[in-house]
Amino acid sequence: MITNVDDFKKDEEISCGAFSYVFKGSLRGIPVAIKVAKDEGRKSIHRELKIYDKISHPNILEPKGVHFVKDDNAEFVEISDFGCSIDLERDYEIKFLCTESHISYEILKSRKLPNVITPVSKASDVWAFAVTMWQIFEKTHLLPIDFCKEGDIIKNYETGKKLPIPATVSEDFWRYILLPCFDLHPKARPSMEDLHKSLISMLYTFV
């Protein structure tokens, strides 16, 4: 059931769930729905395919094929993989799911306190952005072992221990761009707008 990428055409997105996107498309000229798994949804797709192998019913769409992608070469980088993202201007639900290593200090800290829940914010996004930038410069999706668990992360930042400076990063970039993003006080962190301006300015400096 493996499908060659040249056999199908993907058009506009028609639906989006917690684990996958669904696109309108065609397979060898036949109209189909194309489901594209998010990173956290790959196991879900595998489970679905196993179930489809065991059932057949006229009211259930049957799978026509599957295509595995090793590297999408995407132009965009996911900063923090929220399982349930929110609109800060409209939504007031403060429960969310995301990678623990990318959660900001104040949110991790609030989890240790009874009846205290700190909501996600633009400042917590800045923290997650800085962690992602660190991964990009280190060319790895892995973080140091002592920066992966909630308790270790809190202890490290409270004692002044930060992620190690990547070998490819200049001292100035580290000190003036990335480190401020890890300020324990959310209001002291730069905004995404400020970071964008600083990054553009540095880009033109090196061009």
Show the tokens assigned to 31.
């109209």
Q: Distance (Å, rounded) from C-alpha 131 to C-alpha 192? A: 14
User: Among 57, 73, 89, which residue terminates a domain?
Assistant: 73
59: domain CATH number is 3.30.200.20
Same structural domain, 53 and 139 = no
Show the tokens assigned to 201.
């300015």
Flag whether pLDDT at 183 surpasses 70: yes
Whether 92 is covered by a domain: the verdict is no
pLDDT computed for residue 84 by the predictor: 38
Whether 44 is covered by a domain: the verdict is yes
> Considering its fold, how many domains does the chain have in total?
2
C-beta separation of 180 from 190 below 8 A = yes
pLDDT-derived band at 187 (thresholds 50, 70, 90) equals very high
Show the tokens assigned to 10.
């993907």
Show the tokens assigned to 85.
């993202």
pLDDT digits (tens, 9 = 90+) for 65-80: 776 665 555 555 555 5
Flag whether pLDDT at 62 surpasses 90: no
Whether 195 is covered by a domain: the verdict is yes
Show the tokens assigned to 117.
């829940």
Same structural domain, 67 and 106 = no
**DSSP secondary structure letters along 112-157:** TSTT--PPP-HHHHHHHHHHHHHHHHHT-S---GGGSSHHHHHHHH
Same structural domain, 116 and 69 = no
Whether 93 is covered by a domain: the verdict is no
Same structural domain, 201 and 113 = yes
Same structural domain, 130 and 198 = yes
Flag whether pLDDT at 88 surpasses 90: no
Whether 105 is covered by a domain: the verdict is yes
Range of the domain at 28: 1-73
Same structural domain, 123 and 175 = yes
Query: Which residues have CB under 8 Å from 163's CB, separation 6+?
Result: 131, 134, 143, 144, 147, 182
Straight-line distance from the first to the last Cα atom of the chain, in angstroms, rounded to the nearest whole number: 48
Same structural domain, 112 and 159 = yes
Flag whether pLDDT at 154 surpasses 70: yes
User: Among 73, 90, 115, which residue terminates a domain?
Assistant: 73
Same structural domain, 114 and 190 = yes
Show the tokens assigned to 47.
């489970």
